[in-house]
A and B are shown apart, each in its own frame.
Chain A
Amino acid sequence: MKELEKTKRISIASVLFILVILIALLAYKRPKHLYSENTKSTLEKITTENYFTNLTELKDTNVVLIDVRSQFDFEKGHLENAVNIYAPEILNDTNSKFFDELKKNNNSVILYGNTPNEVIAPYMLLYQLGYKNIKILTAEITYSKNKVISKDVEIEKSKYDINGFIQESIKKASIKAKPKPEVVKTPKKIIPIKKKKKLPVEGGC
């Protein structure tokens, strides 16, 4: 009898154990989005590969143009054939299905916003999720008289020579300043003369 009780205990414990594992497996939800790149490989690729395009390359067919600005900006004016996916909604179910489809069909996707700076963060996120068919449009979108104007811009260009500017400003300022220091020197020369007067007075003592 004692042995039977022991086996009962063991079997009850094991059944409970298996139940816990089964429940855990059933409760496990596969996350909707998984990274396919870790940070180091992403960094390596974004510093070596070219993922920028300009306006002339837009004419290719097989390209899907995506506007990451808000719907408000999109309605005000957008590039031809663009699809509006607002950046904060980029991971929605419908949008990620859309991206998956584009990836399957081998379409190349071009993202654009008011400036390339606006696009870089959504791009980085999508890249790390494994959408590698994406490029960034290096253009600035502005409006003039209700029309959209798009202009190519260079990325991360060093526009100004700051050291040169500072040196020049010092030069310019010092040229004008030169005559004045000479005026300053003259009153100093008066002082030693006065000191000589002190000496004879002390000699009187």
Chain B
Amino acid sequence: MVNRKLAKVLKFRYTILAAILVLLAAGLVLLPKYEKHEGINPEELLSNVISPERYITSDELAHKIINQDPSFLLIDVRDEENFKKYSLPNAINIPLKNLLKEDFEGYINQSQFDVVFLSNDNLYADQAWVLCNRLGYKNLHVLKGGINNWFNTIINPAKPNENMASIDFQLYSNRKAASMFFGVAYPEQVKKKPVVVKKVTPRKVVPIKKKKKLPVEGGC
């Protein structure tokens, strides 16, 4: 008797199993949509966003450019008009609007170079950084203070007062040298040049000694 009842239930075993699986599949539809949930999760993004690690100071960047460090890529996220007015040497212009277009993905999503975002201040650059960081791109940095701070520190550094520490003077002379590298000329820089030229004049006296040798050779 037991066997017969069991056999009756077992007749429908496949339909019962199928029904359960269909129900479970329907459950999947209720799960939240994941298509919008691209990139790293929000908690991780928050901890990345809070950390000031992404900032690179203008002094560090100037040092890299002057030493012709080949390991970084400058990306200017301002619009084309501002980019044409002034940008750092070798910067690539990717306006913020076009940041995520496929044409530019190769610049941003790679592991070969350190990417440095820059804009007038660091607001737009930060926005670009947040979006790219969410997508999990690596080696991204932001120029702290942007072009405005670049001008204040590198192009036109403030002279230190007499009562400031010697570090400030050192920093100033470094920055001044950097600004000369980026094309700024100083009046005293030109004054120094003639001094160098005067040193050249005694060198021209040297050929006179050679002339004395020549008549000796002529005597032979």
Instruction: Point out residues on A near B: beta carbons under 8 Å.
Output: 7, 10-11, 14, 18, 21, 25, 28, 30-40, 42-44, 46-47, 87-88, 90-91, 116-117, 120-122, 124-125, 128-129, 155-163, 165-166, 169-170, 172-174, 176-177, 180, 183-184, 187-188, 190-191, 194, 197-198, 201-202, 204-205
Contacts and interface: CB of A to CB of B under 8 A. Distances in A.
B5 interface: no
Contacts of A31: 41
Contact of B121 (A156, A180, A191, A198): A156
Nearest to B184: A169
23 contacts: A28-B31, A33-B42, A36-B36, A39-B100, A43-B97, A124-B49, A125-B46, A125-B49, A125-B130, A129-B42, A156-B120, A160-B148, A160-B156, A162-B86, A163-B86, A165-B151, A170-B185, A176-B187, A180-B194, A183-B197, A187-B204, A201-B214, A201-B215
Given A14-B17, A33-B41, A117-B121, A174 B46 contact: no
Contacts of A165: 151, 155-156, 184
Interface string B177-220: 00000111111011101100100010010011001001100100
B39 to A, nearest CB: 7
- Counting chain B CB atoms within 10 Å of each CB, the highest count among A32, A122, A125 belongs to A125
Given A35-B38, A36-B36, A117 B190 contact: no
A139 to B, nearest CB: 14
Contacts, number: 180
Given A163-B86, A172-B187, A187-B204, 20 more contacts: A28-B31, A38-B35, A39-B134, A88-B46, A117-B122, A124-B131, A128-B42, A158-B147, A159-B120, A162-B85, A162-B86, A165-B151, A166-B184, A169-B184, A172-B185, A174-B190, A176-B190, A176-B191, A183-B197, A205-B218
B158 interface: no
Given A156-B120, A201-B218, A184 B197 contact: yes
Contacts of A44: 97
B62 to A, nearest CB: 13
A110 B206 CA distance: 77
Contact of A43 (B42, B96, B119): B96
B120 A166 contact: no
A23 B139 CA distance: 39
B152 to A, nearest CB: 8
A21 B127 CA distance: 41
Given A14-B17, A173-B187, A197 B211 contact: yes
A28 B211 CA distance: 96
Interface string B28-60: 000110011111011101110110000000000
Nearest to A24: B24
A160 B121 CA distance: 12
A140 B193 CA distance: 45
B182 A38 contact: no
B42 A125 contact: yes
Nearest to A178: B190
A46 B46 contact: no
A86 to B, nearest CB: 10
A120 B127 contact: yes
B204 A155 contact: no
Contacts of B218: 201-202, 204-205
Contact of B207 (A42, A122, A191): A191
A117 B46 CA distance: 15
A11 B46 contact: no
B2 to A, nearest CB: 12
A144 to B, nearest CB: 22
Contact of A39 (B49, B131, B151, B214): B131
A201 B50 CA distance: 82
B151 A163 contact: no
A202 B24 CA distance: 109
B43 A91 contact: yes
